[in-house]
Structure 1
Amino acid sequence: MALLAVLVTGAALYARGALPAPVPPLAGPFGYHDYARALDPVRPGGDVDFGGLVRERAALDRFVASLASVSPHNRPELFPTPEDGLSYWINAYNALVLQHLVDGYPDGVAASWFGRFYWGRAWPVGGERLTLWALEQRILFGEYADPRVHFALFRGTRGGPGLDGAPYQPDFLDAQLNDASRRFMGDKRHVRMEGTTVHLASLFKTRQQDFLAALPEGRGGNVLQFVWAFLPDTCEERPGCDTRGDLDRACGTQLDKCTLAFMPEDASLPDASAPLRP
């Protein structure tokens, strides 16, 4: 029983990212230069040339190694604003997902919410040993709670948020999060109208309370209010997309006349060399 208790406690600490990790010395000033180079294989549509990234992975590995030395938790003086901290954690999360996928390429790693992808591996990050689950649940949404971050996190699936081709930067973070949200809403894989039925990505169901909590007082408990805020006004950049005006006309000014339906996510790897599913 004592051994079982130790194992259960250890598992809980592991899942929470509460186990310590060594902190190696940093070779030079911390920055996102190597991560920016690692993002070179990202295509404009969000797919990734994984074959190229595998062959030229040194920059990605250097950036991930630098995370072991520095984080907003162990070096808060390097991240004096919330924007500094949040930019770090988003970049760290996306880089770890990329490395996880590269390590398993081409055989693949099951990018499933309920699989080992999110909790089966831990990385040293600023003196903590963090899984993707711990980084997301305890830090990104435990310490910051900005629902736009959902659209900035790369989850290794073609149906999820696309990977941005540049690091998130504190000076531009608000604009970058808005852009990520607009790209997600403007994609018919995530928001699609059919008469008075609005088909939404499953993310809007699994994390619905995050989006509802961001609505101003008096807007009611309708997740379409959040969707509306980031839909495009026109479809000049994305022909055939759905707009705010379309949503207003179909669902009424209170957005209460529509039925919601949630679409399954395409869990295939967003590999630029793989054909798109029909």
Structure 2
Amino acid sequence: MVLLAALVTGAVLYVRGALPAPVPPLDRAFGYHDYARALDHVRPSGDVDFEGLLRERAGLERFVASLASVSPHNRPELFPTPEDGQAYWLNAYNALVLQHLVERYPDGVAASWFGRFYWGHAWPVGGERLTLWALEHRILFGEYADPRVHFALFRGTRGGPRLDGAPYQPEFLDAQLNDASRRFMGDKRHVRLEGTTVHLASLFKTRREDFLAALPEGRGGNVLQFVWAFLPDTCEERPGCDTRGDLDRACGTQLDTCSLAFAPEDLSLPDAGDAASRR
């Protein structure tokens, strides 16, 4: 019984990222250059050229290795503002997902049972051994609580938020998070009107409380108010998308006359090679 309790405690600490990790010396100044080079393999559609990245993975591996030495937790002087810290954790999360997918290629998230992709592996990050679950839940939402982060986290799926082609930068972070939110809302796979029914990505159901907490009305509000804030005014860039005006006309000015339907997420790998073969 004592052994079982110890194993359970150890597993919980592991998933939550509460175990220590060694901190190797950093041989050069920390930065996002190597990660930016890896993101050159991201297509405008958000699909990733995994075969190309496999051939040129050294930069991504160098960046991931640098995370072991530096983080806002063990070197706070390098990340003096909340934006510095939040940009670091966003880039760290997305880079670790990308590396994890490259190592498993051509398998994707769907091949991982019971969500093990997010909690079954831990990386050394600034003296902590962190799973993706810990990075997301304990750090990004525990320390920053910005619901726009949901649209900036690369999940490794074609139906989830797109991986951007550039790292998040502290000086542009607010604009980058707004852009990520607008991209997500402007995609008909995530927000689609059909009469007085609004079809939404399942993310709006599973993390509904996060979106409601950001509204002026708080948890008594309507998740469509959050959606409305990031819908486009026109569809010049995305022909056929739904706009704020469309939502107003269908759902009323209080956005309370529509019903909601939640679509399952496409869990296929966002592989540019696979996308090209389907065209």
Shorter-chain TM-score category?
Answer: over 0.9
The residue aligned with 1:81 is 81
User: CA offset at residue 169 of structure 1?
Assistant: 0.2
* Structural RMSD (CA): 1.5
1:26 matched to 2:33? The reply is no
Q: Check conservation: 2:15, 2:120, Cα contact below 8 A.
A: no
AA aligned to 1:79 is F
Q: How has the CA–CA distance of structure 1 residues 120 and 233 changed in structure 2, closer, same or farther, with 3 Å as cutoff?
A: same
TM-score (norm 1): 0.97
The equivalent residue for 1:275 is 275
1:236 partner SS: coil
Which of the pair is proportionally richer in helix? 2
Report the CA distance shift for 1:191/1:113 in structure 2 as closer, same or farther (over 3 A).
farther
Q: Match for residue 67 of structure 1?
A: 67
Look up the equivalent residue of 1:92 and give its one-letter code: A
One-letter identity of the residue aligned with 1:202: S
Q: Is the CA contact (8 Å cut-off) linking 2:199 and 2:261 kept in structure 1?
A: yes
Q: How does 1:140-151 map to 2 (within 5 A)?
A: 140-151=140-151
Shift of 1:112: 5.9
Residue of structure 2 in register with 1:256 after alignment: 256
Give 1:49-198 correspondences, 5 Å limit: 49-110=49-110, 114-198=114-198
Report the counterpart of residue 201 of structure 1 in structure 2: 201
- The CA deviation at 1:108 is 3.6
1:25 partner letter: P
Unmatched tracts of structure 2, length 5 or more: none
Give the direction of change, closer, same or farther, for the CA distance of 1:174–1:148 in structure 2 (3 Å limit). Answer: same
TM-score, structure 2 as length reference:
0.97
How far, CA to CA, are the matches of 1:113 and 1:224 in structure 2? 32
Long gaps (5+) in structure 1? none
* 1: CA distance, partners of 2:127 / 2:218: 43
SS of alignment partner, residue 124 of structure 1 = strand
Q: Identical aligned pairs, as a percentage?
A: 88
Give the SS at the match of 1:91: helix
Corresponding residue for residue 217 of structure 1: 217
Aligned length: 278
SS in 2 for 1:275: helix
Q: Which of structure 1's runs of 4+ aligned residues deviate more than 2 A?
A: 107-115, 217-220, 275-278
1:106 deviates by 1.8
